[in-house]
Structure 1
Amino acid sequence: MRSKLLTVAIAAGLGVTSLSAMAATKQQPARVTVDAATLQQLQAQLAALQAQVADLQAKQEAQADAQIETAKTVNDVQVAAAKPTDELAKKLDALNKLVDNTKIGGTMFFDVTNQDHTEKGVTGPSTKKDGHGSTNGTGFDVKRFYLTVDHKFDDTWSANLTTDFSYQSSLSSTSLFVKKAYVQGKFDPLFTVRFGAADMPWIPFVEKWYGYRYVENTITDRSFEGGRSGGTATAGGVGAFGNSSDWGIHALGATTGDNSVNYQLSVVNGRGYRNLSRSKSVDTEGRFGYSPIEQMVVAVGGYSGKRGNDVEAGADTRTATRGDALIAWRDKTWGAGVEYFHTENWDDILKYIGGTAGPGAANNTKKDKADGYSLWADWKFVDQWAVFARYDNVDYKYTNLSDIQEKIKDKYYNAGVSYDVLKNLKLALVYKHNKLDGPSIAPYGYKTNEVGVWGMLSF
């Protein structure tokens, strides 16, 4: 660039000098002699022109350098904006892994129903009144709201936290518990270990085959009110015959398809997920199931332990036991099943000492046992619509201090039609009936009819 400009300037200077000489030649055909002053003037003009050319070249070079620096700066900014720093990239990568490996979900059981409850004592007619777990009238209830957080650390280890919230408008009460909180190691499809509060082997397993948990608990998890009241039985009635979740160590596994097996063995505290307590011994519950075809299961299970009552300085205890059996079928159209259980000393774990009631023992009772069965079926007659029905029967017997056996009989049934509004929203119009008859020595009876809409929302 510099050489070209200099050439142009010299050529221009020489051109001016040549033109002047030619003009002089035309005007004066005779030879002209340039004096020293004129030559000096021309040299000065040429030097000035060269200085101007050099200054112009310097300015252009400075401008070109500035443009190069500007382009470099713009490029650096663009690269910095497009590519985060290593620290920021690490933070973004950690955040992505947290989001990708964490799942948040929830399940809500709700209903809007009208309930009619009557009670009959030893004498007199049946009277409509509130009590024993039933409240007359119409109300909206949120029976359960489970909020679940699952996090996967790697292909083997994960963790789960599930909270359990419930609200009942008729009782104006709310409760919040941690239902599940465990760390899981999955080493093989047939060997997974959970440490903490987790699903027990029997009740959640039956719920999956039953399919209508949002309408009613399964038979071992359903309390029937009335009858017994005392230290180890639910005041005003008999409680459930099992826990759906408990604190302990749980080992489980399963295969899939036809000729598949499943199992679970849990060693737990025995008081359920709502009571994280200690005792001198632990309880065990197990289940083994076999599916000759994928749509069918045959399963047996059992429970043995003190249910958390074997404490220091406490009364002597018995061992509570429960045996379970299930045969069920479920495909895209049909579902059916029968469940059976037998318990002994489920409520009367604490013994009487020397014929006198020990601390916390049930009133006037030596031991108890119960047998129950549940039958259910459902049919999806068109897409999204199904009809269903269920029948439960429980015989609860307990022996008083005079070795006389008394009996409470509970019968329950429901029937309804369900509609899958969305994949994660189910509604069911249901009628329920529950009848309890007390012992013949001091007979009493409770009867409850309930009709309304039950629903389940999950996400």
Structure 2
Amino acid sequence: MKKSSLVIGVASAALAMIAAVSGASAQSWTDNITVGGRMYLDVSSSSLEVNGAKSGSKNGYGFDVKRVYFQVDKKFNDIYSLQMQTDVSTVSGVGQSLYLKKAYFKAAFNPAFEVSVGSNEMPWVPYAESIYGYRWLENTLLEQNNTGVRTTFGTSADWGVHTGGKFGTYYAYQVSVVNGKGYRDSSRSSGMDVESRLSAKFDQWNFAVGSYTGSRGNEAYGTATIVTPASGTTPAVYKENKVDTHNAQRFNALAAYTGDRIKAGVEYFTATDWQTASIIDTTAGHTKADDADGYSAFGSYRLTPKYTVFGRYDNVKPSKKLAPWNEGEYYNFGIQMSPMKGISLALIAKHNSFDAYAGSATVKGAKTTTEFNEIGIFTELRY
């Protein structure tokens, strides 16, 4: 998609929205403002081992504030609104900065169509999180990577134009045209990526499919090069240095039952050329082409109004062509307690391992196993 066309379209839509908001009845800027947030905290014992030897700063006991979200919503009227949400992580070595996760202006024209411009939620990951229900304990399938040694395959928010809505009794959709590098990086490229989702809910049954296509922000221009030197007053002739890319593609599917006491579901993805090396590969015959897939099975059972047991298992093969023996595995299990509204506690055990093999696509070399284990008390606070 041409970025110039998109920019013109977004600018026109934004001007129309602003004009409509300006025409609304006068109100104080403090009217219809709500403030909220979430905190993910834990005290735990964890270990990160490479071939049985402890490695890095994830070993030992400690208290973490893994995430702090602060959110402000402003409602102009029944159609127009805006939202800002910050994201802070204080985990050692990971994202020690303040980020704008959401910053968008939205027009909800009717239940079947709303549009927002800025950084907003992507179609797939937030939907999967809403079904799973335990994002405060762990990222969902596309983002889970406690070992830190494999590729992740999605993000929860990005900069662009987001449309979506619900139609009929059962169906919902979202389509986002985005920069492709996630909300922490708003840099430009010469194309935009598209992620979409179509979902359905029949009583307690939930079904969804989704897709992603684009260069993930890698379709860019390098420094122009001189092809004709300047002579006298003749200006130099420059040649564009555009990075040729292959599109990354991803397909997602999810099915889940979310009853009053029982929740059970499965999530699946398959991806092609997701890693940057595959996207910008210029070799003859596209020798760095690659595939990946993975699945997650999760469930929970509410024992009493306050106590719920839960568990989950993931399996991911991140490089089926270039490193076909590499494989990641994750599982967790625990018990959750909700003493009051806005507070959730869980005693949880986690295991994440990744087996990486030296050699080539046809020769299986020595194995390196990276293993992460953690047990602790995790907390979510909402206000």
TM-score using structure 1 length: 0.69
Is 2:170 the partner of 1:247? no
Is 2:307 the partner of 1:341? no
What residue identity is the alignment partner of 1:352?
T
Is 2:205 the partner of 1:281? no
TM-score using structure 2 length: 0.82
Residues 107-150 of structure 1: CA deviation (Å, up to 9, x unaligned): 11111111122212xxxxx22222xxx61001111111110000
Distance 1:319 1:171 in 2: 31
Compute the displacement of 1:449 (Å). 1.3
Distance 2:94 2:179 in 1: 31
In the other structure, the counterpart of 1:61 is: none
Report matched runs for 1:266-305 at 5 Å: 266-293=176-203, 295-305=204-214
Report matched runs for 1:131-142 at 5 Å: 135-142=58-65
Distance 2:146 2:65 in 1: 20
More displaced 10-residue stretch of structure 1: 418-427 or 314-323: 314-323
**SS at the partner of 1:416?**
strand
**SS at the partner of 1:367?**
coil
What residue identity is the alignment partner of 2:192?
V
Is 2:75 the partner of 1:152? yes
In the other structure, the counterpart of 1:72 is: none
In the other structure, the counterpart of 1:264 is: 174
Is 2:320 the partner of 1:409? no
Distance 2:164 2:249 in 1: 21
Report matched runs for 1:36-435 at 5 Å: 98-120=29-51, 126-130=52-56, 135-168=58-91, 170-171=92-93, 174-223=96-145, 225=147, 237-255=149-167, 259-293=169-203, 295-312=204-221, 313-347=241-275, 348-353=278-283, 366-397=288-319, 399-400=321-322, 405-435=323-353
1:450 to 344, 353, 374: 374
Alpha carbons 1:297, 1:328 under 8 Å: kept: yes
Alpha carbons 1:224, 1:410 under 8 Å: kept: no
Compute the displacement of 1:336 (Å). 1.3
Residues 340-377 of structure 1: CA deviation (Å, up to 9, x unaligned): 00011100211134599xxxxxxxx7122211000000
Alpha carbons 2:173, 2:199 under 8 Å: kept: yes
Q: 1:255 to 1:143 in 2, by over 3 A?
A: farther
**SS at the partner of 1:219?**
coil
**Which of the pair has the greater relative contact order for Cα pairs under 8 Å at 6+ separation?**
2
In the other structure, the counterpart of 1:44 is: none
**SS at the partner of 2:48?**
strand
Residues 234-254 of structure 1: CA deviation (Å, up to 9, x unaligned): xxx223201100001111102
Whichever structure has more strand as a proportion of its residues is 2
Distance 2:136 2:198 in 1: 25
What residue identity is the alignment partner of 2:338?
D
Compute the displacement of 1:224 (Å). 5.3
In the other structure, the counterpart of 2:11 is: none
Distance 1:172 1:437 in 2: 23
What residue identity is the alignment partner of 2:295?
Y
Distance 2:293 2:283 in 1: 27
Structure number with larger C-alpha Rg: 1
Alignment root-mean-square deviation, CA: 2.1
What residue identity is the alignment partner of 1:222?
Q
**SS at the partner of 1:225?**
coil
Compute the displacement of 1:396 (Å). 1.9
Which 5+ residue runs of structure 2 have no aligned equivalent?
Answer: 1-24, 222-240, 358-363
Compute the displacement of 1:442 (Å). 3.3
Residues 316-355 of structure 1: CA deviation (Å, up to 9, x unaligned): 2111000000001213212111000001110021113459
